[in-house]
Structure 1
Amino acid sequence: MMNVFMQLVKEKFHLRTVHSELVGFWTYELGGMNKVFHIWKYDSFAHRTAVRAALARDKSWQEDFLSKAQAMMDVQDNEIAYLVPWCKLQKPEKEGVYEKVTFQFKPGGPAVWGESFRAAISAHENTGHTQLVGVFNTEYGLLNQVHVLWWSENAESRAAGRHLAHEDARVVAAVRESVRFLDSQRNVLLTPASFSPMK
């Protein structure tokens, strides 16, 4: 149902975006199939509650999109996450591909693993092989989980950048330090939808 779902989203998703800001909407290219991933911005929990209440009253959203989309979905999951204090959301200037890297850390929170993780991310970013978009720490969902979103011009340049980073002594040293706190890591390659604000 993926193609039918994406066509419905393309035609009717404006009914959702009038209520709050869509940061980005992607489909999985590698690391998963028949999945989408999207990020919404809220000013506060009260703002999110107000948006959800408005959507529940919006007949066009309910009838023209949601009732049709739900019949196509097997699983839906959501999280509340925030940008870590040392990262600002960066919007790439041109179209490309995105890599979402999800790190599951050992219990204890950023007080335990935050400093070494920041050093590892900074080492990757400073090589210039890929562009950091944002670092998000989960508040509701799996705790001690961080999503890092990277941008590359294409999948080939991302693969080349990864190999160069693995040979960079600065990255190797920083990763060796931070991996002590890591339980697992999952990488997926994402393609932005035509209507996604982030391309």
Structure 2
Amino acid sequence: MFHLRRPWGTLVASASRRQPQVEVGVKPQVCASFATGPRQYDGTFYEFRTYTIQPAKMNEFLENTNKYIHLRTAHSELIGYWKQEFGGVMNRVFHIWKYDDFAHHAKVQEALAKDKECQEKYISPNLPLMVQQRNEITYLVPWCKIVKPPKKGVYELVTFQMKPGGPALWGAHFQTAVNTHIQVGYSKLVGVFHTEYGTLNRVHVLWWNETPDSRAAGRHRSHEDARVVAAVRESCNHLETQENMLLIPTPFSPLK
């Protein structure tokens, strides 16, 4: 595990921060990380949950969730809830929950365990319908905020597994690649998240498009856009794998 100290390849500390004293003859360590910057002072994190549902039970699962999700959202904020349409293992739902910090998360879990109505109507009926549950704890990268799309559409979650070493090696190139996609306007960025608990050196980028066809058209244009190609080429030098999923928002998802 890398213990990294500054965000996205920023190797020079802010002048407004008091610098620690360094002993004479001791070479200071220069590192970088997602895990500092704004995130260091704001403990807010996002839990990514992915449930694999029995194929014949998906409608039952979604109907029950639609009916009783309010019992769950009474305890913590739901950012979005989607059904996976394409990409990877099928019959999955994906949802994002927001927490102020780990103490908040612990309090929510304790409250849920004591909430009999939520347990009886929402959690217990859904558990037998699931094949697998996965979760990741993620933070927004320091240069990004969640942006609500202008209207209903479809979402694409792109997961990048980067080479070990952290953003000191690849953060600037990755940020440039994302910003270039934003500038050309082929898709709208919702948020960029990095994993704190789960597979490390992983970054998730959530995009919005009006329809699957508009997404496909934009992707084809980006492949022919020299600006995008140049930016992506630099980032890909640090890439190990990439996976994407097309997500359809559920009727009860805050992000439509």
TM-score interval w.r.t. the shorter chain?
Answer: over 0.9
The alpha carbon displacement at 1:169 in A equals 0.6
Counterpart check, 1:171 vs 2:218: no
Counterpart check, 1:69 vs 2:130: no
Counterpart of 2:157 in structure 1: which amino acid?
K
Q: Which runs of 5+ in 1 are unaligned?
A: none
What CA distance in whole angstroms lies between the structure 2 residues aligned with 1:98 and 1:176? 24
- Structure of larger gyration radius: 2
Point out 4+ residue stretches in structure 1 off by more than 2 angstroms: none
**2:105 aligned to 29, 48, 52, which one?**
48
Identity of aligned residues (%): 60
Structure 2 counterpart of 1:80: 137
Match runs of 1:126-145 below 5 Å:
126-145=183-202
Counterpart check, 1:11 vs 2:67: yes
Structure 2 counterpart of 1:186: 243
Aligned to 1:79, what secondary structure does the other structure show? strand
Aligned to 1:29, what secondary structure does the other structure show? strand
Structure 2 counterpart of 1:2: 58
The alpha carbon displacement at 1:64 in A equals 1.1
Count of residues in Structure 1 that have an aligned counterpart in Structure 2: 199
The alpha carbon displacement at 1:189 in A equals 0.2
Aligned to 1:76, what secondary structure does the other structure show? strand
Match runs of 1:12-27 below 5 Å:
12-27=68-83
The alpha carbon displacement at 1:89 in A equals 0.6
Counterpart check, 1:195 vs 2:247: no
Counterpart of 1:125 in structure 2: which amino acid?
I
**2:166 aligned to 94, 97, 109, which one?**
109
Q: Which has the higher helix share?
A: 1
User: What is the TM-score normalised by the length of structure 2?
Assistant: 0.77
Aligned to 1:47, what secondary structure does the other structure show? helix
The alpha carbon displacement at 1:167 in A equals 0.7
What CA distance in whole angstroms lies between the structure 2 residues aligned with 1:34 and 1:105? 27
What CA distance in whole angstroms lies between the structure 2 residues aligned with 1:36 and 1:46? 26
**2:217 aligned to 150, 153, 160, which one?**
160
What CA distance in whole angstroms lies between the structure 2 residues aligned with 1:80 and 1:127? 30
What CA distance in whole angstroms lies between the structure 1 residues aligned with 2:116 and 2:156? 35
Write the deviation string for residues 1-20 of structure 1: whole angstroms up to 9, x where unpaired.
10110001001111100001
Aligned to 1:8, what secondary structure does the other structure show? helix
Counterpart of 2:168 in structure 1: which amino acid?
A
Aligned to 2:135, what secondary structure does the other structure show? coil
User: What is the TM-score normalised by the length of structure 1?
Assistant: 0.98
Write the deviation string for residues 85-115 of structure 1: whole angstroms up to 9, x where unpaired.
0111101120000000000001111222111
What CA distance in whole angstroms lies between the structure 2 residues aligned with 1:112 and 1:52? 37
Q: Which runs of 5+ in 2 are unaligned?
A: 1-56
What CA distance in whole angstroms lies between the structure 2 residues aligned with 1:110 and 1:63? 44
Counterpart of 2:129 in structure 1: which amino acid?
M
Write the deviation string for residues 153-199 of structure 1: whole angstroms up to 9, x where unpaired.
00000000000011111110011101011000001100000010000
Question: RMSD of aligned C-alpha atoms?
Answer: 0.7
Of 110-119 and 14-23, deviating more is: 110-119
Aligned to 2:251, what secondary structure does the other structure show? coil
The alpha carbon displacement at 1:67 in A equals 1.1
Of 8-17 and 29-38, deviating more is: 29-38
Write the deviation string for residues 114-165 of structure 1: whole angstroms up to 9, x where unpaired.
1100011111111111100000000000000011000000000000000001
Counterpart check, 1:34 vs 2:91: yes
